[in-house]
């Protein structure tokens, strides 16, 4: 195993960087599309703000989410090749699904892709006993393991939708007697809200790559236990920032112009609501998808203001993509595991 470990680790680092890049590529759309569609920021300015605060987020956001990812599959006590196969197959399946959804211009949950691929590869390589389902702890009121990820998958977009719906109604009521002269204030507040959302995105999403790389370091024998060193944090922060800098322009078109006609007030409301949900999730170690939260929040904003103007057909297509995410990545995780198991043994 030790002879193979340096090469496998090199491949793993490249896959983590590719995953974080595609993650940032995907999530950039949900953050950049709002100010661009509302014409409150130029594309270049929006990208600069989002990129800067996406990079700062992982450096200050801790490793609670990374720990959640790292504890999902129990690799302690299994052979080195088995643990390495699980991590590499998981990353490959998540990258493939991110690229497929980007090709069709659909926003995707990189969190669901990664977690589902991890479940599929873990079940195939190690077995059901390796998965930390968290069911026993749930009976005692404790949310851990896969149950924590399920909570994030279900409740984060639902929370975004509800918060967006009620917040847009409250803001519209508050500003009902305000003249058009208030528009510059909303435009100025856009700089703060988009920065907050980008920071929240960085604190949560970059940690998933950190968790996978820390698992691989443990599997290759570099560290005696699951550890997230400073260079892993910096590497993942850089990779997701580069992905954000490039931006997924096909997805920007879908989110910014394909769901609802966005004005400045919608953009600010969406960013404030999404940032609050994502940052709160990061603090308790729940992995969530910034794309899912921001997209669901925009649907809530449209439903709270003008339900008939929301393009529910496009919303349905996005929702179907989210549903297919889990079974597809579970199967992909198992398929890549079967291939890698033959290569690494």
Distance CA 198, CA 315 (A): 23
Q: What is the pLDDT of residue 249?
A: 63
| 88 token code pair | 């590499």
- Residue 8 is predicted with a pLDDT of 86
Residue 248 domain-assigned (yes or no): yes
Asked if residue 111 lies in contact with residue 90, where contact means CB atoms within 8 angstroms, the answer is no
Residue 34's pLDDT is what? 80
pLDDT along the chain (345 residues), means of 10: 69 92 78 81 84 90 84 79 89 90 75 87 88 83 83 86 91 74 77 89 88 90 89 93 75 67 86 89 83 86 85 77 84 92 76
What's the confidence (pLDDT) of residue 173? Answer: 84
Q: How far apart are alpha carbons 191 and 46 in whole angstroms? A: 8
Tell me the residue range of the domain where 299 lies.
5-340
In a domain? residue 117: yes
Q: Alpha helix (H) ranges present in 175-219? A: 183-219
Q: What pLDDT is stored for residue 3 in this prediction? A: 43
Residue 16: the pLDDT is 93
Residue 191: what pLDDT? 87
**Alpha-carbon gap, residue 325 to 35, rounded angstroms:** 28
Measured between alpha carbons, how far is 194 from 207 in angstroms, rounded to an integer? 20
Question: Is residue 10 in some structural domain?
Answer: yes
Q: Domain count of the chain?
A: 1
Q: How far apart are CA 29 and CA 47, in angstroms?
A: 10
Residue 176: inside a domain: yes
Tokens linked to 193: 């809200």
Backbone dihedral angles phi then psi of residue 249, each to the nearest 5 degrees? -65, -30
What is residue 180's predicted lDDT score, i.e. its pLDDT?
63
With respect to residue 54, please indicate whether it lies within any of the assigned structural domains. Answer: yes
Residue 296 in any domain: the answer is yes
Name the DSSP letter for residue 99: H
pLDDT at residue 140, as a whole number: 82
Kindly state whether residue 345 falls inside one of the protein's structural domains: no
Q: What is the pLDDT of residue 289?
A: 81
Handedness of CA 327, 330, 334, 335 (dihedral sign): positive
Q: Is 200 a domain residue?
A: yes
Query: Is 115:73 a contact under the CB 8 Å cutoff?
Result: no
pLDDT the model gives residue 90: 93
């Amino acid at each position: 195993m030790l002879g193979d470990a340096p090469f496998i680790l090199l491949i793993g680092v490249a896959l983590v960087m590719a995953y974080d890049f595609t993650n940032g590529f995907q999530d950039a759309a949900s953050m950049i599309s709002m100010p661009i569609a509302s014409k409150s920021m130029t594309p270049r300015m929006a990208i600069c703000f989002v990129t800067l605060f996406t990079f700062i987020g992982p450096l200050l956001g801790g490793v609670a989410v990374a720990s959640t990812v790292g504890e999902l599959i129990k690799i302690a006590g299994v052979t080195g090749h088995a643990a390495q196969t699980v991590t590499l197959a998981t990353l490959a399946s998540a990258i493939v699904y991110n690229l497929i959804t980007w090709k069709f211009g659909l926003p995707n949950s990189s969190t669901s892709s990664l977690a589902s691929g991890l479940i599929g590869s873990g079940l195939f390589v190690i077995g059901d006993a390796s998965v930390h389902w968290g069911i026993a702890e749930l009976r005692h009121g404790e949310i851990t393991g896969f149950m924590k990820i399920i909570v994030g998958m279900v409740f984060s977009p639902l929370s975004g939708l509800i918060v967006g719906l009620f917040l847009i109604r409250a803001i519209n009521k508050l500003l009902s007697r305000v003249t058009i002269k208030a528009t510059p204030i909303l435009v100025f507040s856009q700089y703060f809200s988009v920065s907050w959302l980008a920071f929240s995105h960085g604190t949560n999403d970059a940690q998933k790559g950190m968790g996978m790389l820390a698992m691989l370091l443990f599997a290759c024998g570099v560290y005696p236990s699951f550890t997230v060193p400073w260079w892993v944090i910096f590497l993942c922060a850089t990779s997701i920032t580069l992905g954000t800098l490039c931006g997924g322009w096909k997805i920007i078109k879908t989110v910014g112009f394909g769901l609802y006609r966005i004005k400045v007030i919608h953009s600010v409301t969406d960013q404030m609501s999404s940032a609050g949900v994502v940052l709160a999730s990061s603090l308790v170690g729940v992995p969530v998808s910034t794309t899912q939260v921001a997209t669901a929040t925009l649907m809530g904003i449209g439903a709270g203001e003008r339900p008939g103007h929301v393009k529910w057909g496009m919303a349905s297509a996005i929702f179907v993509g989210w549903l297919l995410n889990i079974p597809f990545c579970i199967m992909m995780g198992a398929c890549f595991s079967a291939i890698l198991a033959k290569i690494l043994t």
